Amino acid sequence: MLPETIASLPKAELHLHLEGSIQPSTVCALTARHGLEVTEQEVRHRYAYQNFLEFLETFKWLLRKQRVEANFEAILAAAEPFASRGLHMNWIFDAVRQFGPDAAMRVVDAARQCASKSIVAFGIGGDELSVPTKNFRPVYDRAGALGLHRLIHAGEVGGPEKIREAIEILEVERIGHGIAAINDPALMDLLADRRIPLEVCPQSNIRTAALALQLRRDKANIGEHPLPALFRHGIPIALSTDDPAMFHTTLVREYEHAQQLGMTENELLRLAQMSFDFAFERQHSRTAS
């Protein structure tokens, strides 16, 4: 159990996919609107995977089944009643790496067309071993020209070189996951020196077997996660859930994982503070009533 001083703290979550936040019962309700019958049991079955590619398959299945286009204004309106308690949302438009640069450019264009102040960044997720990093340079140039912050998933299932490339070629400001850095001490120094945060999602790394891959073994458990090592090296960390419904986790549970990993109350406090430091957030205060 987390100490109340940590559990009650305001926290920002910086790596949270909309699609991965949909609980099984809601998936059923959404698919039913389109005349598709999907049982909760089927969704729960789909929400269990052995590896990263199986997880990506489930993600695609989820998008096909829902056939729902995100209505950002509607979601923001639904969140409005919670604003007085400190809830505030910004959006990152996330392209799928294996779909290539043209599709990614269309995502940037979609962000431009939405013209919402709540869209603050562009990123890329998906299979980082597919399309080479340099192919996305024009896409990131365009995103930057539109005033969007630059993010990417890197060093999740790929090696540390994917993180370096993202920093050097795409000039990204935050790295999704980035746990491969543990295999490259010079890269850890670079991340710490340049204050480039890793959006660390421990439970996700276990469920997709990304951590096992980085540790070069068949299985890994949460107790082996490098979160404390990365943090104590001076790398900024934004602790997150990634896809909480699909990975059966919550943000508070991720703080509990950090505690289980031996992080002290002061370190947990620092994690919560840092989550706001790198949130691309200007107008809103971090204090909750």
Taking CA atoms, 126 is separated from 52, 170, 271, in Å, by 9, 17, 26
Q: In the chain, what is the greatest distance between 2 CA atoms, to the nearest angstrom?
A: 54
* Cβ proximity to Zn ion, 13 vs 267, nearer residue: 13
Q: How far is the CB of 176 from Zn ion (least distance, A)?
A: 5
Taking CA atoms, 83 is separated from 36, 73, 78, 111, in Å, by 34, 14, 10, 24
Is 54 among the residues known to form the active site?
no
- Distance between CA atoms of residues 102 and 107, nearest Å: 9
* Residue 154 CB partners (closer than 8 Å, separation 6+): 128, 162, 163, 165, 166, 172, 175, 176, 177, 178, 180
Q: How far is the CB of 125 from Zn ion (least distance, A)?
A: 5
- Distance between CA atoms of residues 33 and 56, nearest Å: 24
Q: In what order do the strands lie in the sheet with 174-177?
A: 91-96, 119-125, 149-154, 174-177, 198-199
Q: How far is the CB of 20 from Zn ion (least distance, A)?
A: 7
Q: How far is the CB of 15 from Zn ion (least distance, A)?
A: 6
Site residues for Zn ion, window 268-287 (CB under 5 A)? Answer: none
Find the catalytic residue in 13, 156, 165, 199.
Answer: 156
- Stated as kind and residue range, the H or E segment containing 121 is strand 119-125
Count CB neighbours of 58 within 10 A: 19
Q: How far is the CB of 287 from Zn ion (least distance, A)?
A: 28
* Cβ proximity to Zn ion, 249 vs 267, nearer residue: 249
Size of the site for Zn ion (CB under 5 A): 1
Taking CB positions, which residue lies at the least distance from Zn ion? 242
Q: How far is the CB of 126 from Zn ion (least distance, A)?
A: 9
* Cβ proximity to Zn ion, 242 vs 254, nearer residue: 242
Site residues for Zn ion, window 193-222 (CB under 5 A)? Answer: none
* Cβ proximity to Zn ion, 128 vs 242, nearer residue: 242
Residue 153 near residue 125, CB atoms below 8 Å: yes
Give SS3 for 155: coil
User: How long, in residues, is the chain?
Assistant: 289
* Cβ proximity to Zn ion, 251 vs 269, nearer residue: 251
* Cβ proximity to Zn ion, 66 vs 240, nearer residue: 240
Site residues for Zn ion, window 222-261 (CB under 5 A)? Answer: 242
CA angle 277, 111, 236 (to 5 degrees): 20
Q: Which residues are catalytic?
A: 156
Residues of this chain that bind Zn ion (CB under 5 A)? 242
